[in-house]
């Protein structure tokens, strides 16, 4: 069995566990992450399954606070998803509506919605309100936390998406978690340090494909995927080499770090209220 096929099988198993794992009601705080591919973290799970993943890092950082209850973080992100697709596909009902004992639910959509939903500025807020109504119905004791998107598209598109998310949060009287500024600030250290490289294999020069061979993901459209800059020296001059803006492990550490910083005082305050 080839290395690539083995990795794909491992990834499928990991993703299946991620999407279907029920919340453990064993005294742990239950945290659900809903979102698209920038929440799912498919390729970090595929290429570095032995490392702490996005949801693991959140849990570890919250535990490191020392005075918080243990947490269980459930990642239910899915590549290509919009809010409309989450609801209409039945995935919400199957994988989110019946999770027991949820305490905090992070909702991060907008990138795919902006690209796929007609009349985006009208329909996206409506879809967001619809999802929030379902979450309130199914998880009445959970804190609902709308999130802004990361700097994935250009600043103008990101500002439009995040403005609508902010508007929904205000109308719903919910606390907005604005991840955009921290991620944008980190990108000042290097514009491509937080994203992986994914590039079609057929666009790699034939004479250099031996260098790319260990990093090929098989499928209908084979691609070279690396989580860092190790191949930039050879392929960084190719048009579109840096085009993919999905987070790599470093990017997910940034999101997880900011998430833990946002959530720790919230959990702490709630714990004090119960005393």
Instruction: Say yes or no: 259 and 236 in one domain.
Output: no
Instruction: Say yes or no: 253 and 232 in one domain.
Output: no
Residue 165's CATH number: 3.40.50.1110
Instruction: Say yes or no: 163 and 222 in one domain.
Output: no
Instruction: Say yes or no: 97 and 37 in one domain.
Output: yes
Instruction: Say yes or no: 210 and 255 in one domain.
Output: no
Residue 139's domain spans which residues? 3-190+248-273
The whole-chain average pLDDT of the chain stands at 92
Question: How far, CA to CA in Å, does 230 sit from each of 54, 188, 193, 233?
Answer: 22, 20, 11, 7
DSSP state of 215: G
Instruction: Say yes or no: 121 and 175 in one domain.
Output: yes
Instruction: Say yes or no: 125 and 168 in one domain.
Output: yes
Instruction: Say yes or no: 158 and 207 in one domain.
Output: no
Instruction: Say yes or no: 181 and 92 in one domain.
Output: yes
| Cβ(226)–Cβ(196) below 8 Å | yes
What pLDDT, in 10s, does the model give residues 132-161? 999 999 999 999 999 999 999 899 999 999
For the segment 75-88, the average pLDDT, to the nearest whole number, is: 98
% of the chain surpassing 90 pLDDT: 86
pLDDT, residue 165, reads 98
What pLDDT, in 10s, does the model give residues 218-264? 888 999 999 999 999 999 999 999 999 999 999 999 999 999 999 99
Instruction: Say yes or no: 146 and 209 in one domain.
Output: no
Whether the per-residue pLDDT at 118 is higher than 60: the answer is: yes
pLDDT, residue 270, reads 87
| Cβ(161)–Cβ(139) below 8 Å | no
């Amino acid at each position: 069995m080839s290395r690539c096929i083995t990795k794909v099988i491992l990834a499928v198993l990991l993703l299946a566990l991620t999407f279907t794992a029920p919340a453990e009601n064993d005294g742990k705080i239950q945290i659900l992450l809903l979102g698209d591919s920038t929440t799912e973290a498919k390729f970090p799970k595929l290429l570095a399954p032995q490392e702490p993943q996005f949801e693991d890092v959140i849990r570890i950082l919250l535990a490191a606070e020392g005075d918080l209850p243990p947490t269980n973080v459930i990642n239910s992100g899915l590549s290509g998803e919009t809010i409309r697709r989450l609801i209409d596909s039945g995935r919400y009902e199957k994988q989110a509506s019946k999770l027991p004992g949820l305490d905090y639910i992070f909702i991060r959509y907008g990138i795919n919605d902006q690209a796929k939903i007609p009349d985006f500025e009208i329909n996206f807020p409506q879809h967001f309100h619809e999802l929030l109504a379902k979450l309130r119905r199914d998880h009445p004791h959970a804190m609902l936390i709308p999130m802004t998107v990361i700097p994935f598209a250009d600043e103008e598109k990101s500002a439009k998406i995040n403005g609508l998310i902010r508007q929904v949060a205000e109308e719903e009287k919910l606390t907005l978690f604005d991840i955009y500024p921290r991620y944008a600030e980190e990108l000042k250290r290097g514009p491509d340090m937080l994203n992986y490289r994914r590039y079609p294999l057929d666009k790699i020069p034939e004479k250099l494909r031996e260098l790319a061979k260990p990093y090929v993901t098989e499928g209908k459209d084979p691609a070279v995927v690396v989580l860092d800059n190790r191949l930039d020296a050879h392929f960084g001059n190719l048009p579109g080499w840096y085009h993919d803006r999905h987070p790599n492990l470093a990017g997910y550490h940034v999101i997880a770090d900011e998430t833990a910083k946002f959530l720790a005082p919230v959990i702490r305050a709630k714990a004090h209220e119960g005393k």
